Structure 1
Amino acid sequence: MKTDFDYVIVGAGSAGCVLANRLSADPNTSVCLIEGGGSDDSPRVRIPAALLALYGNPRYDYAYQTEPEEHMNGRRIPVNRGKMLGGSSSINSMVYIRGAKEDYDRWAENGCAGWSYDDVLPLFKALERNLIGQDPRYHGFDGALCVDAARDPSPLSEMFIEAAKSVGIPRNDDFNGETLYGAGIFNLTQKKGQRWSSHTAFVKPILGRKNLTTLTGAEVTALETEGRKVTGVKLRRAGRDERITCRRELVLSAGAIGSPRILLASGIGPAEELKTLGIAPVLDLPGVGKNLQDHVDGMITLRSSSAKTLGISLRTLPRILTSPLPYFTRRRGLLTTNYVESGGFARTKYAGDLPDIQFHFVPAYRSHRGRLIELGHGYALHTCLLRPKSTGEVVLDPAGDGTKALIRNHFFSTEEDAVILADGLRIAREILAAPAFAPLNGKEILPGPKVTTEDDMLAYLREKAATSFHPTCTCKMGTDPMAVADPASLRVHGMENLRVADSSIMPDLVSGNTNAPSMMIGEKAARMILA
């Protein structure tokens, strides 16, 4: 097996697959794409509704958990991350959201020149193959990433949109257009009812390139360095220790948990912390693993007897058992659902002009016990805080060998976050109580009718809130002392040929789902390298 390459990319996720495509376009260069997980070649990955079989499955999901969260009653919060080719774009709900224009303008204003909305919009458009025919000012039509409408959205999605309108939230048919604000049906990274992951879009079409090597089941344990230069990576594969050498550039695209973990294990990070772990510091970089940000999420779930909702019951069993027929013949029916087909963005009473919460509406009963599947019927509305002030960290497990990270989100360490989210759930309740939902006759199970005051809701959030699975910002770009990557190149400050390109380089969390922004970061990094 070839072990020496010009470019080495660690992580075949949302950003890494874009990089592999762009860097291997030159046949005179050699590229190695390293993935810790395995193949994505499974109906569970391709069929949207099968995503429930991915979560928590050790073949497809790293299934991390946070350390006990001090401000959430000491609970450990699940953190699902994709463990296969395509990374989390192979396990997510396929919602295509870029974030707000103001997010990127804020990055540029705070020291990340070249990352304003006007700078990144052409990158989003270059990646996108919009199959819906939306406004060309905001969308691209010649890229590899298919963006489609839901094939057979539940009639409850329209109920949600009408209910939101009745409480003053307008309909929005394009959250990636002029404004985020409003309620509507999400665009999805799908093509004709099948998942369209980063690997499907950017790597599968180029598997014939002889200069691209993909390694799966390869856990990178550390980088090898000489002075300020990376010379290769150490990895563990099929129980054996191996080494891949790098002639030109090494790019970490292992995500907001994996990328800082690898840097720390390689001696790049806060020097004093590394010394306490018995790791000799190679470069004192205090920001590595810090500034962790994620969307904290609260849920309202209702029981209903209506079989219009998705669910498993005697009344819906015939429809479920026959669902493969319309799917495999016409790509229609139940199996096309991503479960969060609709949602939107709204403003709490604490917001300015920009929405500060996001809704994900589920036309099925979300278990009050935390189960993935619960018998019976109902519907639910998730509400997440878009721009939290609480920040956490990713650190190495002192009891491990450098391959295990500890995740500390510190959710609600800033009380303001909990207060804003509680007001978001107030709005969610107003939507669910609107006349549009009256035919379903839903009964609230969580938080439940006894939760009436703000203090009640705050207590509920500390007991039940979770994450939207959007970890970011742990190797943030910038020019301040806690910055890890240079905004002009995404090179790690102080290193010659080491870059980071994934969601970890975000200086602040974007207002929405993070898959599309991560692909944009991969595109931007590739252009930087090729320039």
Structure 2
Amino acid sequence: MTQDFDHIIVGAGSAGCVLANRLSEDGRRSVLLIEAGGPDSSPFHAMPLGFMAAMADPAKDWGYMSEPEPNLDGRHLPLPRGRVLGGCSTTNGMIYMRGHARDYDEWRDLGCPGWGYDDVLPYFRKMETSWRGAGPWHGGDGPIQVTPVRHRALLTEQILASAAAAGFPHSDDLSGERQEGFSLSEVTVDRRGRRSSAARAYLRPALKRPNLRLISGAQVTRVLFQGRRAVGVEYRGEGATHQARARRDVILAGGAYNSPHLLMLSGVGPGAQLREHGIGVVVDSPGVGANLSEHPIVYMDFATSGDTFLKQLRLDRAALSVLRWALLGTGPFASQITSCAALLRTLPELERPDIQLMVMPVRLDAKIWTPGLGKRLQDMFSIMVIQLHPESRGRLTLRSADMADTPRIELNLLSHERDFAELRRGIRAVRTLFGAGPLATRVLREARPGAERQSDAELDAYIRANLRITQHPVGTCRMGRGDGAVVDPSLRVIGAENLRVVDASIMPTVPGGNTNAPVIMVAEKAADLIRQQD
């Protein structure tokens, strides 16, 4: 079966949902959106505090694992990626953060004109309805709803008071004029207490349009070419192979793992590698799969006196909170549990923050509990220590020419000494925080890594054994010009025609914060570029 459309979008994740909406909104273009996953119908996809269950559902995940990490004691790291409408915006922790202005000026300076901070700010504003209202930094009528994390059980005031006592800067708005310091967390949750994913915010309204068609539960196996011109895709769905033809362009929006994988299987990638697997070379593009960057993360835990959010997880309270969320969209289950976010420079001479902290007044292994059944867990604070600008780079390569074989993903984390040093400084910053103000009076002990670990060598050993990733992979189809660039600043695949990539894979470097908002921004800007160039 062959069908014809103006645009074919591969992947209904954060970027794909935006593109489907924007490219179909004037009614003049026919758009096909193909998604391998299924519907975002679980209540855990809608309820903000259900994000851990949503993320852990293997039926909604691609199941990727890293290759053994040489600097992490040979560990394989799980690499969660949402396989569902909305992609990771349906399963992630909903933290809304843009990063620092310098992150985007760096893209511009790396050969991407039109992608500096002044260029992308209008698209951040366009995408959001901020609780702050419309203004020079924020939008007031965009699809994505942004609200603050506020609940008395989250102990926000105590954390901010300790940060001030420890001498850390404060910011009223990390996406505003002061993009550094401790601040309230913001999340993509609407005022009814529902997750504001790309599927809910962009795709659902657009599906009413007759010129947009969605095919879910179908996996694209290759891009079809005539010479170097992309003319359509082949996909498998309902037990059969189908083709769809694109009159204007094919747009890959599968993310930092799936987009380079599909490019290589379609003949666009490092020529020697493709030939090794018997794949005909359409475009010899050495940068496909290279330049993989991720935010490394280590967790710290502090045992504490007094109640934490664990109190809200007592069975009777939790049941009432679920009911309150379902009926009213309010209460502790209607938002996130990350009280405060911080972007910090751990050395005064740095031009932008190098460490992000996420402070949660609850232990990571907390579960619903019942009084009298087993021993109540110790109350703890958990803190995420995230390195924002790692030097290390990894690579994605083919395992075989079969789409069913997942690619080899080598993150190559901590291959630079600077990455260790910045994480150590982040750990020590957290110790400073918990040694000051109200938090200092509550701390019983440092549970992880433990106060006995003080030297660089001891902290490095802890980091190697415990480091994970934040699920922010970028860079594998790098935007730019010259050697190693895969797409140009208009996101067209260099060396091919009518083929674009629009997702996190095009980012030359990883922004200094959570990446979902930047991905949506990229897609908003890409939609304008596509419409202007048609």
Answer whether TM exceeds 0.5 for this pair: yes
Deviation at 1:405, TM superposition (A): 1.4
1:317-466 correspondence to structure 2 within 5 Å? 317-349=315-347, 352-367=350-365, 375-398=377-400, 400-401=402-403, 403-466=405-468
Name the counterpart of 1:480. 482
Is the CA contact 2:304–2:443 (under 8 Å) kept in the aligned structure 1?
yes
Q: 1:351 to 1:92 in 2, by over 3 A?
A: farther
Q: Using the alignment, how far apart are the partners of 1:153 and 1:256 within structure 2?
A: 38
Letter in 2 for 1:318: D
Q: In the superposition, relative to structure 1, how do residues 329 and 498 fare at CA in structure 2: closer, same or farther (>3 Å)?
A: same
- Pick aligned residue for 1:468 from 467, 470, 483: 470
Determine if contact 1:348/1:356 at 8 Å carries over to the other structure: yes
Structure 2 match to 1:80: 80
How do residues 308-319 of structure 1 correspond to structure 2 at under 5 angstroms?
308-310=308-310, 316-319=314-317
Partner of residue 254, structure 1: 254
Map 1:30-429 to 2 at 5 A: 30-133=30-133, 136-152=135-151, 154-192=153-191, 193-304=193-304, 306-310=306-310, 316-349=314-347, 352-367=350-365, 375-398=377-400, 400-401=402-403, 403-429=405-431
Distance 1:294 1:464 in 2: 16
Per-residue Cα deviation, 1:194-225 (whole angstroms, up to 9, x for no partner):
10001111111122101101111111111111
The amino acid across from 2:255 in the alignment is G
SS at match of 2:526: helix
What is the SS of the residue equivalent to 1:8? strand
AA paired with 1:191? D
Q: SS state of the match for residue 59, structure 2?
A: coil
The number of equivalent residue pairs is: 525
Partners in 2 of 1:127 and 1:490 — Cα distance? 19
Partner of 1:523: 524
Structure 1 residues 442 and 85, CA gap change in structure 2 (3 angstroms)? farther
Q: Distance in 1 between matches of 2:9 and 2:117?
A: 26
In 2, Cα distance between the equivalents of 1:341 and 1:162? 13
State how far apart, in whole Å, the 1-side matches of 2:302 and 2:407 are: 36
Q: Which of 231-240 and 221-230 deviates more?
A: 231-240
Quickly say closer, same or farther: Cα 1:273–1:399, change in 2 above 3 A: closer
Q: 1:175 to 1:281 in 2, by over 3 A?
A: same
- Measure the CA separation in 2 of the matches of 1:60 and 1:342: 29
**Cα 1:140/1:481, change in 2 over 3 Å:** same
Moved more, 329-338 or 181-190: 329-338
Q: Deviation above 4 Å: which 4+ runs of structure 1?
A: 371-376, 399-403
Secondary structure at 2:58 match in 1 = coil
Once the two structures are TM-superposed, the CA of residue 56 in structure 1 deviates from its matched residue by 2.8
**1:496 aligned partner:** 497
- Identity of matched residues, %: 39
Q: Secondary structure at the match of 1:236?
A: strand
- Taking the aligned partners of 1:405 and 1:336, their CA distance within structure 2 comes to 37
Give yes or no for the alignment of 1:505 onto 2:506.
yes
Amino acid in structure 2 at the alignment position of 1:144: P
Following superposition, the deviation at residue 54 of structure 1 comes to 1.5
Shift of 1:95: 1.1
- CA distance in structure 2 between the partners assigned to 1:413 and 1:400 by the alignment: 30
Contact 2:303 / 2:380 at 8 angstroms: preserved in 1? yes
Cα contact 1:300–1:429 (8 A) shared by 2: no
| Cα contact 1:56–1:63 (8 A) shared by 2 | no
3-state DSSP class of the match of 2:383? strand
**3-state DSSP class of the match of 2:249?**
strand
Q: Which structure 1 segments of 5+ residues have no match? A: none
| AA matched with 2:119 | D
Cα distance 1:307–1:153, how it changes in 2: closer, same or farther (>3 A)?
closer
Q: Tell me the SS of whatever aligns to 2:138.
A: coil
- Please tell me whether the aligned partners of residues 261 and 402 of structure 1 are also in contact (alpha carbons under 8 angstroms): no
Looking at structure 1, the residues matched to 80 and 432 of structure 2 have their Cα atoms a distance apart, in angstroms, of 30
Output one character per residue of 1:441-481: Cα deviation in whole Å (capped at 9) or x when no partner: 34222111221111111110000011111000100110121
How far residue 260 of structure 1 moved from its aligned partner, in angstroms, is 0.3
1:62-91 CA-to-partner distances (Å, cap 9, x unmatched) read 232111100010011121111111111111
Look up the SS of the partner of 2:291 in the other structure. Answer: strand
Q: Can you list the C-alpha shifts for 1:213-258, whole angstroms capped at 9, x where unaligned?
A: 1111111111111111112112122332222221211111100011
State the SS of the aligned residue for 1:93: coil
**Whole-Å separation in 1 of the counterparts to 2:22 and 2:332:** 36
- Contact 1:311–1:378 at 8 Å: present in 2 too? no
Moved more, 397-406 or 265-274: 397-406
Aligned to 1:9: 9
Q: CA deviation at 1:401?
A: 4.3
Offset at 1:399? 8.0
Whether the aligned pair in 1 keeps the contact of 2:491 and 2:501 (CA below 8 Å) is: yes
Cα distance, 1:340 vs structure 2: 2.1
Report if aligned partners of 2:2, 2:242 keep a CA contact under 8 Å in 1: no
**Distance (Å, rounded) in 2 between the aligned partners of 1:205 and 1:496:** 31
More displaced stretch, 197-206 vs 325-334: 325-334
Q: Give 1:123 shift.
A: 1.1
- Measured in 2, the distance between the counterparts of 1:246 and 1:224 equals 10
Q: Which segment is superposed worse, 490-499 or 54-63? A: 54-63
Q: Distance in 2 between matches of 1:132 and 1:180?
A: 16
Contact 2:147 2:186 in 1 (8 A): yes
Instruction: Supply the AA of the counterpart residue of 2:159.
Output: F
RMSD: 2.1
Unpaired segments ≥5 residues, structure 2: 370-375
Residue deviations 1:263-319 (CA, integer Å, cap 9, x gap)? 011110000011112212111000000000010011101233533333677xx3332
